[in-house]
Structure formats: structure tokens, C-alpha cells
């Protein structure tokens, strides 16, 4: 039996998806071979985009529709623009909460999980609900805490899921009213 030198190994093709919104709010997505995962992940981080492994079952059908991204020698990446409906499909398939909702169909009130308010600023952690505003003219908006790294919070507006996540100091948020139950 002879091996053919130029053929890839058999089995599922492993790919990585980099996706997100650019600064103007336009959706972008690109797929990269698994061997370029480290460089693509660094490029995604610098572009403030999300990364999703392409070997998830929910992503398999969508993967064929995503254009191939390009990596440059300097470690930068070119992520092509895509249509909004394809972006929504990628985002829904990559989000664990939406995967759970698809496997357990039923009436859903919101796309986001129920969040609880923290007791104090020091207690703020992932999954908590806080209030945030960008300026005095914008008002306060309910935001979900996605992560906390020391004094820096990563937030996402609860009711505006298409807006990208953002970071702020933990003292820049307000705490929702807690009832004495």
C-alpha cells in the first residue's frame, strides 16, 4: 500500500471562524484552517472580533457559506464582509444560550439568560445585571456582565444584542435596585 504525498488526512476538516462587527457596525466573518488558529486568534483579538471553532455541529452547515479569511505576514488578518443574515446565523450558532434554546424549544421571552443584580460593586461578576450609560444624554441601559478582570468589566447591552461587547471600569456602572426579599 502506498501513501499519496499531497493528500490531506481523512476525517473532518478542522476550521476556525473569526466573526464580529467592525467599527461601523458592518458584519464580518472569515474561516481559517486550524493550523493558523493561533495567528487568527491574535488577529481577532486585535480587531475585537469573536472566535468560534468550526467543528461545532451547529456551525457545520454555516461553515460552507463563510468566505475564507487571509492572514498577512505581519500577523494581521483580512476578514471579509458578509450579509447580516449570515452573521446572525453564525452568532446564533456560536452562542451557547441559543444552542440550548434550539434543543429545548418553547416560548422564550428574551434571547438572554435571566440575570441577577449584584449586592455591591465588589460582588459584580459574570452573569450579573448592571446599569451603564455612555454619557449624560444617553440614559442608563441594562447591561449583562460577560467577564470581570480585576477592575475592568466586559459588558453587553441586554436589549441590544447586535451591539458589540465593550469594557469599562467597575465603578462606572450603577447597581439596579434590590428588593429586601
If one counts every other C-beta atom within 10 angstroms of the C-beta of residue 79, the result is 24
pLDDT score for 178: 63
Rounded to 5 degrees, what angle do the CA atoms 86, 92, 95 make?
135
Q: Which residues of the chain have pLDDT under 70?
A: 1-13, 56, 75, 95-115, 178-181
Report the length, in residues, of the chain.
181
Rounded to 5 degrees, what angle do the CA atoms 87, 51, 93 make?
45
- Do 127 and 145 touch, CB atoms closer than 8 A? yes
pLDDT score for 152: 92
Q: Which residues contact 92 (CB under 8 A, 6 or more apart)?
A: 98
Q: Whole-angstrom Cα distance, residue 22 to residue 30?
A: 13
Tell me the domain boundaries of the chain. Answer: 15-102, 121-172
Q: CATH topology for 121-172?
A: SH3 type barrels. (2.30.30)
pLDDT score for 130: 92
pLDDT score for 5: 46
Rounded to 5 degrees, what angle do the CA atoms 136, 140, 143 make?
135
pLDDT score for 8: 41
- Do 96 and 113 touch, CB atoms closer than 8 A? no
pLDDT score for 43: 82
Q: Whole-angstrom Cα distance, residue 77 to residue 40?
A: 7
pLDDT score for 179: 56
Amino acid at each position: 500500500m502506498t501513501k499519496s504525498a499531497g493528500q490531506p488526512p481523512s476525517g473532518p476538516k478542522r476550521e476556525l471562524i473569526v466573526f464580529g462587527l467592525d467599527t461601523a457596525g458592518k458584519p464580518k466573518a472569515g474561516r481559517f484552517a486550524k493550523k493558523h488558529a493561533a495567528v487568527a486568534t491574535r488577529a481577532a483579538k486585535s480587531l475585537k472580533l469573536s472566535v468560534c471553532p468550526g467543528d461545532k455541529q451547529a456551525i457545520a452547515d454555516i461553515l460552507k457559506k463563510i468566505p475564507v479569511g487571509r492572514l498577512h505576514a505581519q500577523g494581521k488578518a483580512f476578514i471579509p464582509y458578509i450579509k447580516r443574515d449570515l452573521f446572525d446565523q453564525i452568532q446564533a450558532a456560536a452562542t451557547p444560550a441559543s444552542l440550548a434554546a434550539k434543543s429545548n424549544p418553547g416560548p422564550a421571552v428574551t434571547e438572554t439568560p435571566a440575570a441577577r443584580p449584584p449586592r455591591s460593586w465588589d460582588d459584580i461578576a459574570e452573569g450579573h445585571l448592571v446599569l451603564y450609560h455612555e454619557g449624560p444624554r444617553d440614559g442608563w441601559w441594562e447591561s449583562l456582565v460577560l467577564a470581570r478582570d480585576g477592575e475592568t468589566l466586559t459588558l453587553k447591552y441586554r436589549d441590544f444584542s447586535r451591539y458589540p461587547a465593550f469594557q469599562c471600569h467597575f465603578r462606572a456602572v450603577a447597581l439596579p435596585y434590590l428588593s429586601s426579599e
